[in-house]
Amino acid sequence: MPRTRRSSSGSTARPPARACGAWWAPSWSTRAARCSCSAAPPHVRLFPGCWDIVGGHVEEGETLCAALAREIEEETGWRLVRVDGMVDVFDWDGGDGERRREIDVLATVEGDLTRPAIEREKFVEARWLDEAALRVLAASSTDSGMIDLALRALAGRPAGDPAPPS
């Protein structure tokens, strides 16, 4: 089920927020820009077999940054250092009747970036992908929405920003 942008106009109810991000680490300034993406297994409810970025829902009483930090830790074992900028904000419905507001950000993390501790029940693979690899995935994917967002995140990365290990 592709994530499609949906306007929230005409509705007074705000959908719940979802925090997501694309990352690289401060100590790798000589490497090419890359984005961390994970592939979902075919049995998951939302976006089976699709590539995604780390993220999840915001718990009751939780700030967006706290949710992002928690999701990064849960899904990769990495720690959020800072949020570097906004990539996109949009509403979507995953086909389950629940509307969501997705807030995608560019973030810097730290930890063992060569071996993320991915949640095996949610993801089957994690990779650092550069622009060329993201474009190959987008061309062969049934749902390239998050890949397109990852490309936008990399394009908006300020020149000279550090990149992750290859």
pLDDT one-digit tens code per residue, 29-65: 334 567 788 888 888 888 888 888 888 888 888 888 8
Band the pLDDT of 13: cuts 50, 70, 90.
Answer: low
Portion of the chain with pLDDT greater than 90, in percent = 3
**Alpha carbons 54 and 46: distance in angstroms, whole number:** 14
The full set of domain ranges for the chain reads 17-155
Dig out the tokens for 149 from the structure: 């967002």
**Alpha carbons 68 and 57: distance in angstroms, whole number:** 9
Indicate whether this model's pTM tops 0.85.
no
Closest of 157, 65, 138, 75 to residue 103, by C-alpha: 65
- Strands 51-52 and 35-39, how do they pair? antiparallel
Dig out the tokens for 75 from the structure: 């899904």
The residues, any chain, with a CB within 8 Å of residue 11's CB and separated by 6 or more, are: none
**Alpha carbons 137 and 143: distance in angstroms, whole number:** 10
Cβ neighbour number for residue 18 with a 10 Å cutoff: 19
User: Which is the CATH superfamily of the domain at 17-155?
Assistant: Nucleoside Triphosphate Pyrophosphohydrolase (3.90.79.10)
Selected residue with higher pLDDT from 81 and 96: 81
What is the model's pLDDT at position 101? 85
Q: Are 157 and 33 in contact (CB under 8 A)?
A: yes
Per DSSP, 166 falls in state -
Span 121-140, mean pLDDT? 86
How does DSSP assign 106-117, residue by residue?
EEEEES-TTS--
Angle between helix axes 131-140 and 145-155 (nearest 10 degrees) is 160
Does position 7 have pLDDT exceeding 80, yes or no?
A: no
